[in-house]
Amino acid sequence: MAKGSEGSRSFLRLLFWEGMALAGFLHTRLSPIANPIWNLNFFYGALFFLVAYPILYVYRWRVTEGCLATILWPLSFVLSGALGVSCYLWLAYILLFTQSPYYYSMTNHWAVLGALFAFIYFPLVEPVLGVSKKYQSLGGLFWVFLYSALGGFFGFLSGRFVDQKFGVSIGLDNRRFLLWLALILLGTALGAMIGQKRGK
């Protein structure tokens, strides 16, 4: 399946994610469910997403070449990274909303898990949002998800193998878990990159 061209980025995708973000933003304001500190984190993260996402989307869509693109490139680089932080906060908020125990890991170990989150944000989340440098159509996203799932599965198998062979020497359970998680996310990221090439 052919990948969507830069000129065919879907305005509906922009509206969909902006609408979802607006709904989540209103929920953080009207029905706060976290402690005061994380309520503020979620609030500012959601507010940043609402403002930065359409800016980055339009930049990727319309400002793709020429002098203006060169001038604005540093801004797009900063927006892309900061949008990843916002997406991490959204994921933590969803886990909190669903009462998942993994929420506490994301908030208590945010530095390590945030670094690991980058493994899947750039190759997987950005194409879903439509703000990656190379736009992926819905058909292209199918291959991205398929290969991501396969890569994550092989990463899981690799993590189990490493844990069985070297788990005792690694030591603490949390270190073993993070190593296992890193291999899963690395496999997912590699799968997503392969899927992007397959979807061209």
| Count of beta carbons in the 10 Å neighbourhood of residue 162 | 15
Assess whether pLDDT exceeds 60 at residue 155: yes
What confidence score (pLDDT) does residue 171 get? 59
Could you read off the pLDDT of 79-128 as tens digits, one per residue? 999 999 999 999 999 999 998 888 888 888 888 889 989 999 999 999 99
The pLDDT score that the predictor gives to residue 32 is 77
- Mean pLDDT for 22-29 is 92
Span 178-191, mean pLDDT? 87
Is pLDDT of 168 > 70? no
Q: 170-175: long-range contacts (C-beta < 8 A, 24 or more apart)?
A: none
Output the pLDDT for position 109. Answer: 84
- What percentage of the chain exceeds 70 in pLDDT? 88
Share of the chain above pLDDT 90, in %: 42
Q: Is the pLDDT of residue 74 over 80?
A: yes
pLDDT at 196: 82
